[in-house]
Amino acid sequence: MAKFRRNHHNKTKGVAGGAVTKVGIFAGIMALLFFVFNRSSSSDSDNDTQSDPIVIKYEEPSEVNLALSDNYWPTSTTGEIIEHLNYTLSYSEKHEQAEWVAYRLTQQSIKKPNVERSNDFRPDPRVRKGSASPRDYFGTGYDRGHLVPAGDMNFDKRAMSETFYMSNISPQIRNFNGGIWRELEENTRDWAFQNQEIFVVTGPVLTQGIREKIGDNQVSVPDMYYKVILDVKEPEKKAIAFLLPNEISYKPLSSFAVSIDEVESITGIDFFHQFLEDDFEAELEAMNDISLWEIDSKRQELRIEKWNKRK
């Protein structure tokens, strides 16, 4: 290349200049293609060492925000609390899943037009030592069951996508996840709509009955799950909880209703200790009156006739 810059005569200079230009353009094109290839190769790879390998472009955030401030959080037995945009969780490294997830559910959020389900299961980059991986579930026979349901967060793309962090996922029997667990989730959205706003805490029971561990990260498979629901709006403040075995069920959803006190005694978690006065907390957490929570009987029929038969 240096000899062309000496300009021995005009002909050489013209030929050399054209050659330099062509070589430069060709080199530039090759460099660009190499960069694009490397970018696309790395983003398409399923690399579990990346904490968040999927990049999603979101629309403008919705005005809906379902996250709870810290005075509404349950106690954490692990000390690792993670805040996402619309929910908070307490992560258990020992079991590689959340011991609880907590958020509000409102009539406003439910009335929003639904976005498309994202299905972008991925590790949670905020978990200190790394969360479970989607690969932990492959070939196990267990569903990647949501704690915060995707259906509770389908009012915008980012809210929906955050429910697919593996910190929010727990191994569930297929016909439990798509059966009575689904029925409870759908009824919970009904209750939020009817009561304007409710507080929801959901999780696996990790203190007893661990069935087995799966995957390289040794994710615990719980025998039981809970959901705690609180309505503090006047005039009829009320609370209810559910304890459901991780199995197919033909029983009415109402048969699994319990008090919050019972869930607390099993899990060792104190749910509403910070924002309820002691006497009022004791009264609400002792409640177990399912008649205050209308259950859609058609969903039970659909579960038994169709959802429980899902292959």
Per-residue pLDDT of the chain (311 residues; tens, 9 = 90+): 433 333 333 434 344 444 444 444 444 444 444 333 333 333 322 333 333 333 333 444 556 778 877 878 999 999 999 999 999 999 999 999 999 999 999 999 999 999 999 999 999 999 999 999 999 999 999 999 999 999 999 999 999 999 999 999 999 999 999 999 999 999 999 999 999 999 999 999 999 999 999 999 999 999 999 999 999 887 788 999 999 999 999 999 999 999 999 999 999 999 987 777 777 778 888 999 999 999 999 999 999 999 999 88
Cis omega before residue 204 (within 30°)?
no
Could you tell me if 154 and 117 are in contact, meaning their C-beta atoms sit under 8 angstroms apart? yes
Catalytic-residue membership of 8: no
Q: Which two tokens stand for residue 166?
A: 């593996």
Architecture of the domain defined by 70-309: 3-Layer(aba) Sandwich (3.40)
Q: Say which DSSP state 131 is in.
A: -
Could you tell me if 71 and 271 are in contact, meaning their C-beta atoms sit under 8 angstroms apart? no
3-state secondary structure of 139: coil
List the catalytic residue out of 8, 84, 146, 273: 146
Q: Say which DSSP state 238 is in.
A: E
- In 3D, which of 123, 119, 75 has the Cα closest to residue 96? 123
What is the 3-class SS of 169-218, one letter each residue? EEEEEHHHHHHHHHHHHHHHHHHHHHHCEEEEEEEECCCCCEEEEECCCC
The whole-model pTM stands at: 0.79
State the Cα–Cα distance between residues 267 and 52, nearest whole angstrom: 30
